Structure 1
């Protein structure tokens, strides 16, 4: 991924937070048939290994777990949001007419080595943890015990676990940091008005931080 210095986000704790807040990742693998991508919810354990450990599961019918061997390098892409930016939203455009459209976004690329875990105990643990995490906001959280043991056992046999040790984290937050503070703030406010609060709020936070930076 191309990351200009002003868009670089290399702090592990920030990227870990992005992954936790937006855990639906795109797992990119290289198989005998070429490149492949699978979209999966991941659980992150930031304390395991040097840069964290990702866990997930796929359907047993998915050929991924047979086509990728344990130890192979993979990439998981996590996105925190994206939004189109019109040059009309920049005050400087109306003065100098030297702005063009762009697209802002926040992503984390987790490079790592995969381990296939065709292990019922591991799969049960991953499913239980993912369920607790994502049911927590429900008025009456669903739990595995709500279904019969026979049904849950049959469901678990139909999936295979994945574990990815993160070896490199690359982050990019493209939020118009290369623009004037007034342009960043104006575009961020417009995004929030248009119903894009994630990128809009991030742009406003960047504008606030940039406005208090000491002069270079």
Structure 2
């Protein structure tokens, strides 16, 4: 901030907290010099969330002590650090074979975020919504997020899912869509075979590639019930 901006900040603080007002000419001049020395690299406001007045209001509301210039400087550093933590360094447009230009563009982007000139780039964050428009045509052509060739290659490693998909494709009821009354497997989970020891107690269970017959019957009955409704 320039000296005139720091003077405006001091006037704003004086309206919120009269304890900070300096009436003597020498004291006011020293106060302005002190604040400008600590806040010369702090922006008054940016287009992406920072406003020194918000930091001042927050301190006045949360603290019983008069605000100091270091309080504003620390608030700005905290905000700047949070922006840099969210920044994900978009791929530079510079030639990757030119490490000097590549590094300079990366550092320039981080400096712009640190000074509040641009907003952090958060393109790697999770977003809601459907697929990206560029992928919609490909999904319509393939019919699924997993291509058939990949699905067939994965079938030996997930037999329960492969059996479920084959049953649905053949027009049979989806047994994993209901809870198994035999092994109590939840919806979407494969059935399990109970392992019984010599003493008759259960020693464990193992997932089955095919659901229990009672579960298949229950799924068929559920389809019939829904059709009748």
Which has the larger share of strand? Answer: 1
TM-score (norm 1): 0.22
Determine which structure has more spread, i.e. the larger CA radius of gyration: 2
